[in-house]
Structure 1
């Protein structure tokens, strides 16, 4: 029952819908009291030969009219009640998505994809079901049960009512006990379902690797073990769930036995008529639904409460990076990076230290260095995935923590190391950030990214479906489509995180030339392992062990000993050897 208090904020806000549904349920409950009364009157009238045809037809017409009214009112309260609960589903999922979009990499280290999907779908459904069916069964069972109880006690016999209800307290205690067990077991079952989702998602995402390494049997066995554990935990829930109905039916059967036995004795001794006993038994039959509904309500509310605790735990997680409140000026600005030291959460060694650089509009900054030197970390800090321990980054001379996140990130267009394409057409993937972009604008961005000709060679051109994660395209095509997507945004700052690694040297040179033209008034930051991608940068930072080991433009760095010149010569030699190998391959 604690779920209702946890969702009280929503019930208060939607009180009109819920109040309307509750009032209609009360009216329906009262109308349902009429048929047993009418049947009792008819039985007494017929058994005593004191009821004419007109009076009989009047009672039958009243029952028929009651049924029609109840039917219409049930339709209306369903629209009111379930309409309100479906609005709750939409709101919870919007809050859930907003929470996920505000979180940063550290959050996704703690929560796996399958678990998040389970909470956004299965758990939300359970909460919504409880907010709809749970409220229905609570109100309906209480109103109907109390109304029937009052009529049985006052209009027929309070002694027989008391006798018939003797099994009910025992039943209520048993149901409460089952509800407590169900809450804990269902929470465990939902966690197991999340693990099953995780395994399914990972297996489907890595199916190519699984096949390449011949791991089908191993993965199948692992999946089977998780599925078995999930099934066992759901079976434990079912074992508790299965106890509700038998307990209720036994209690109802005992109530009927006591009612028939006690009522027969009272009819025999003349303290009750046969019609009254018939009405009493029918009223007792109406008590079956409140009893069943009460047990069902405990069931679905406990499930909803367990699901809500999982959703609330995730929604309560505050983002690692807090939002600012300042809005940026419209004009382009200077990006100032002054990082004295930055450590990842939980780490003791700094990932970056003493990194200082200013980037003016129209300039291109290159980042390079050995693997793990801090290039991606610096780009993450520019995007404000983390806050800096000592030092900071400023734009328009405003510290990033003071800026609104959406205002700052709207100035950025980012292409990551691993481009992600949606299962949609090429055109819609390019226009992801600007859905209203025209076809000519999309094609212009594709030409800048040097992928226009490749797209035209696809079966349906720009309307070709790329498949899940762009499975129909090569790595270089996916990278260039991602670059086109970023260019279409016309953002002030373009960030390329090793985004040219899968393209050949000639294509890379053409893209860089186009970027230089495109970025005359924009800031471009390129991180790359292949140093030829940095040849046009105004300044290049060579990072080693999180610090700047060398800095300067391409010619300046080649003129001095160090990691840059050594690596550039090695890459040039490697490229020359590859060209010689290609030329020596015989053509048949």
Structure 2
């Protein structure tokens, strides 16, 4: 019953719908009390020869009219009650999605995608079912049960009613115990479903890699193990669930046995007529539904309570990065970074130490260094995915934590090292951040990203559906479409996180040339492993183990010993060797 208290905010707000449904349920319960009474009247009238045939037909007609009215009223209250519960589903999912969108990477380091999806679908469905069907069964069982008890006690015999109800307290205690077991086991079953959901999501997302490595059998075995575990936990739930109905039916059978035995003795003694006993047994039959409904209500409400606790735990998590209060100042500004120390959550060793730079409007900052040196971490801090432990990053002299996140991030256009495309058209993917963009604007940024010709070669050009995660495109095409998407935002600061790694050298050169023209008076930050992408940078930071080991422009770094010069020479030699076969092939006809 905890769930009803937890959802009281919604019941209070939607009180008109719920009150209307409850009122109709009460009217239906009262109407359902009439037929057993009429049957008793007919039985006594026929056995005592006090009713004519026309009277019998009249009472039968009344019962038919009541049945039609009950049918119509049931339709209306279902619309009211279940309409309210479905609206709750919409609101819960909206709140849940909004909460997920407010979270930062630290949150997604702790929670798996499959688990988050399970809470948004399966758990919400359980809560909604309890808020609809649970309320129905609670009200219906209480109203019908109380009404039947009152009629049986006042209109027939309170002694026989008390005798028939002797097994009920025992049943209530047993069902309460079942409900507690169900709550615990269903929570474990939902957690197992989340794990299974996560395994499914990972397998589908990485299906290409699984096939490339021939891991189909291994992944199938892992999935089968997760499915077996989920099935075992659900079987434990089913075992508890299966105990409800037998307990109810044993109780009802005992009640009927006591009612018929005691009632027969009362008929023999003359304190009860045969028609009254018939009515009593029919009323007792009407008690079957309230008792079954009450047990079912405990079942679905405990499931809903377990599911709602999982949803609430997620909604209660505050974002690790707190929103600021100031709007980002208008106009182009200088970015100043002084990162004294930063480490990721649940790690003790600093990821960055003593990293500082100043980036004026129109300048280009290059970041390079070995894998794991801290380049992407700097870019994450610039986007304020995490807060710095010691130090600060300022824009227009204002520290980033003081500015509103949306206001600051609206000044950024970001292309990540792993591009993501939605299952939509190429044009829609490019216009993701600016849905109202014209076709001319989309094609313009596609040309800047050197992907326009590739798009035209697709089956439907810009209207081609790229499939989930851009499955039909190459890595280079996805990167260039992502660059076009960022350029369309026309933001003040462009961040490229190793965004040219999948394109060839000639295309990279063309894109960088276009970016220099596009980026006039705009700030550009490029992280790259291929150093040819950084030759035009105003300043280059060479990172190693979270520290700056070298800094300067390209010409200065090439002229001093260190990682940058060695890597640049190596990459130049590698490029020359790659071009050698082409040059040899070009010279052979001339030598011939």
TM-score, normalization by structure 2: 0.96
SS at match of 2:355: strand
Partner of 1:207: 207
Shift of 1:345: 2.1
Q: 5 Å matches for 1:83-102?
A: 83-102=83-102
Aligned mates of 2:237, 2:343 — CA distance in 1: 45
Partner of 1:148: 148
Shift of 1:219: 1.5
Matched, 1:183 2:171: no
Partner deviation per Cα, 1:111-147 (whole Å, 9 max, x = no partner) = 1111111111111111111111111111110111001
Partner of 1:336: 336
Give unmatched runs, 5+ long, in structure 1.
none
Which region of structure 1 is more displaced relative to structure 2, 99-108 or 173-182? 99-108
Give the total of aligned pairs: 588
Partner of 1:312: 312
Aligned mates of 1:582, 1:148 — CA distance in 2: 94
Partner of 1:506: 506
Shift of 1:540: 1.6
Partner of 1:172: 172
Partner of 2:18: 18
Shift of 1:518: 1.4
Partner of 2:451: 451
Partner of 2:243: 243
Partner of 1:117: 117
Which region of structure 1 is more displaced relative to structure 2, 232-241 or 218-227? 218-227
Aligned mates of 1:397, 1:75 — CA distance in 2: 64
Aligned mates of 1:333, 1:550 — CA distance in 2: 25
Which region of structure 1 is more displaced relative to structure 2, 540-549 or 295-304? 540-549
Shift of 1:557: 2.1
Aligned mates of 1:73, 1:365 — CA distance in 2: 71
Aligned mates of 2:583, 2:58 — CA distance in 1: 103
Partner of 1:578: 578
Partner deviation per Cα, 1:22-57 (whole Å, 9 max, x = no partner) = 122111111111111121112222222212345434
TM-score, normalization by structure 1: 0.97
Partner of 2:324: 324
Aligned mates of 2:149, 2:499 — CA distance in 1: 74
Aligned mates of 1:17, 1:358 — CA distance in 2: 60
SS at match of 2:231: helix
Q: 5 Å matches for 1:411-430?
A: 411-430=411-430
Partner of 1:108: 108
Q: 5 Å matches for 1:263-342?
A: 263-342=263-342
Give unmatched runs, 5+ long, in structure 2.
none
Shift of 1:398: 1.6
Shift of 1:545: 2.2
Aligned mates of 1:521, 1:95 — CA distance in 2: 40
Partner of 2:493: 493
Aligned mates of 2:370, 2:209 — CA distance in 1: 27
Aligned mates of 1:138, 1:291 — CA distance in 2: 10
Partner of 1:566: 566
Partner deviation per Cα, 1:317-358 (whole Å, 9 max, x = no partner) = 221111112122332322221212212223233222222222
SS at match of 1:543: strand
Partner deviation per Cα, 1:246-281 (whole Å, 9 max, x = no partner) = 111111111112212222222222211222112111
Shift of 1:387: 0.5
Partner deviation per Cα, 1:499-524 (whole Å, 9 max, x = no partner) = 00000111111111111111223221
Partner of 2:409: 409
Aligned mates of 2:66, 2:583 — CA distance in 1: 93
Partner of 2:392: 392
Aligned mates of 1:49, 1:165 — CA distance in 2: 34
Matched, 1:39 2:35: no
Please tell me the root mean square deviation across aligned C-alpha atoms, in Å. 1.7
Partner of 2:3: 3
Partner of 1:378: 378
Partner of 1:134: 134
Partner deviation per Cα, 1:131-190 (whole Å, 9 max, x = no partner) = 111111111101110010000000111111111111111111111111111111111111
Shift of 1:291: 0.4
Matched, 1:256 2:253: no
Shift of 1:211: 1.8
Shift of 1:388: 0.7
SS at match of 2:227: helix
Shift of 1:527: 0.5
SS at match of 1:32: helix
SS at match of 1:433: coil
Partner deviation per Cα, 1:204-259 (whole Å, 9 max, x = no partner) = 12222222222222221121111111111111111111111111111111111221
Aligned mates of 1:410, 1:281 — CA distance in 2: 73
